[in-house]
């Protein structure tokens, strides 16, 4: 049994560290091995209400400016401590949405996720499109994906922190970005059954997770050599499960049933959109992605 486990780990390690063969105008890149442990999934929660004031604070009088400053600092520490405790409690409650998937997620390791994602990269995404003056040699790509499931269980959200390191560098990336990908709503009457249904990667939940990661890697690779966009920011509406959300962002790409934007924090976001009868690529049926 121990030998089998070691062989499986070695196979996953090798697959996650694949060095892709570069094309004529691109260079090889290698995916850095992920940290040991299961893939991180959380319940999506709105922290806007955390730390809301519960009443006014009376500062002690007669203590002078020094005493007032100490009181203000102490009050700030109490507020931050209360806010942190509230956020932790809210997150624990939100994570209960994942209980029906606990068994399948407990054995879903980060190395397996990235292996599945690499297998789903589209043609052209398996090369690092570096400019001609870039340092020759093998570049390294590091990814830290974290998933969130909406409280209605209708959509999966990926936040993937991606960094690209030049040859010989391990600390200072040449490019880094957080990519958020919001899946299209599943619109299922029984989302637990829908996410747990068998699929190529084991279950639909695992399959969708791998596809989101692959999509985020492709977006980051394209963005790493994208000229500075000149378009302005505008308010975009999109669906996050059954809820409608808004984001102030700069449009970058129009894909099949989704749009890629850069938000005010500098994140890349891939958001589901309803077709408007003309803005989608002509080959959308062949390349459509959830």
Average pLDDT per consecutive 10 residues, the chain (290 residues; last block may be shorter): 38 38 56 87 79 49 54 63 82 94 94 92 61 67 95 96 91 94 92 93 94 95 85 92 94 91 96 68 56
Which pLDDT value is given to residue 22? 38
* The pair of three-digit structure tokens given for residue 96, joined into one six-digit string: 């209960």
Task: Compute the C-alpha angle 192/185/290, nearest 5°.
Answer: 105
Which pLDDT value is given to residue 12? 37
DSSP 199: E
Angle between helices 204-223 and 110-119 (to 10 degrees): 70
DSSP 39: P
Torsion of CA 199, 205, 208, 213, to 10 degrees: -130
* The pair of three-digit structure tokens given for residue 140, joined into one six-digit string: 């390294």
Full-model pTM: 0.78
């Amino acid at each position: 049994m121990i030998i089998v486990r070691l062989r499986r780990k070695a196979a996953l390690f090798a697959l996650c560290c694949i060095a892709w063969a570069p094309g004529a105008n691109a260079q090889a890149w290698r995916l850095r091995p992920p940290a040991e442990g299961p893939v991180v999934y959380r319940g999506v929660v709105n922290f806007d209400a955390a730390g809301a004031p519960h009443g006014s604070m009376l500062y002690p009088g007669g203590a002078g400016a020094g005493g007032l400053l100490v009181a203000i600092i102490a009050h700030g520490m109490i507020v931050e401590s209360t806010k942190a405790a509230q956020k932790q409690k809210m997150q624990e409650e939100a994570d209960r949405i994942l209980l029906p998937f606990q068994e399948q997620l407990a054995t879903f390791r980060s190395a397996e996720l990235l292996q599945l994602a690499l297998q789903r990269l589209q043609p052209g995404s398996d090369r690092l499109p570096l400019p001609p003056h870039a340092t020759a040699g093998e570049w390294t790509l590091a990814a830290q994906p974290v998933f969130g499931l909406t409280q209605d269980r209708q959509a999966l959200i990926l936040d993937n922190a991606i960094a690209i390191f030049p040859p010989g560098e391990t600390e200072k990336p040449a490019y880094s970005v957080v990519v958020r990908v919001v899946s299209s709503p599943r619109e299922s009457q029984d989302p637990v059954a829908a996410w747990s249904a068998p699929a190529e990667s084991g279950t639909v939940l695992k399959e969708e997770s791998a596809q989101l990661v692959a999509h985020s890697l492709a977006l980051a690779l394209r963005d790493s050599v994208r000229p500075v966009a000149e378009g302005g920011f505008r308010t975009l509406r999109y669906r996050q499960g059954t809820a409608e959300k808004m984001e102030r962002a700069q449009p970058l790409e129009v894909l099949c049933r989704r749009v890629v934007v850069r938000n005010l924090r500098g994140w890349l976001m891939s958001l589901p959109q309803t077709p408007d009868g003309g803005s989608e690529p002509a080959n959308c049926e062949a390349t459509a992605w959830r």
